[in-house]
A and B are shown apart, each in its own frame.
Chain A
Amino acid sequence: DAGVIQSPRHEVTEMGQEVTLRCKPISGHDYLFWYRQTMMRGLELLIYFNNNVPIDDSGMPEDRFSAKMPNASFSTLKIQPSEPRDSAVYFCASSPPGTGVNNEQFFGPGTRLTVL
């Protein structure tokens, strides 16, 4: 089975540009998570969805960040406008239904974002 798919794998952009990251969760999984990883802050949860509905977006750094999940097989994380401090690796992860608090998250390969 295919794992979590993310695109692009690498993105280099200039400050002020809009960046859109994409994620396809594992088929049948109903939880989707967006994380950001940096050396300084480690792995941080930005937002997560359950059944396509955003449940907790308290980790989204500011209004420049937005995320959508229009259907069960696709999600986007958008940064507009981008800033150099947004440079990080962004991971998408998904979890199967019925796992409740014992969820195990499966990570995609990540998108390495560099904002110049």
Chain B
Amino acid sequence: EEQLLESGGGLVQPGGSLRLSCVGSGYTFRNGPMSWVRQAPRKGLEWISAISGSGGSIYYADSVKGRFTISRDNSKNMLYLQMNSLRAEDSAIYYCARRSSGLDLWGQGTLVAVSS
């Protein structure tokens, strides 16, 4: 069964850092471009970053550019999101998702809360 599983969420103070991880299983992870999408409580979906299968192409939303860094380790089937200079408005459930045609495989999400 194809699966994505996120981890690394938690409570962090404003200005702090957090690294999210996402492990893929049940498919050839290195072939798939990946994205991070977040959803603030009772809000809509916001795409925040994407990375190609090789890791050679990377894209960010303006809201996180310069603060967040996406990366992957295909030898470990892992996707990462390093989040620095966190703000209250970054509080959300963070999903990793595989891009096939559209985002066809999603993890269950990990909750990030930024608060003092």
Q: Do A and B associate with each other?
A: no
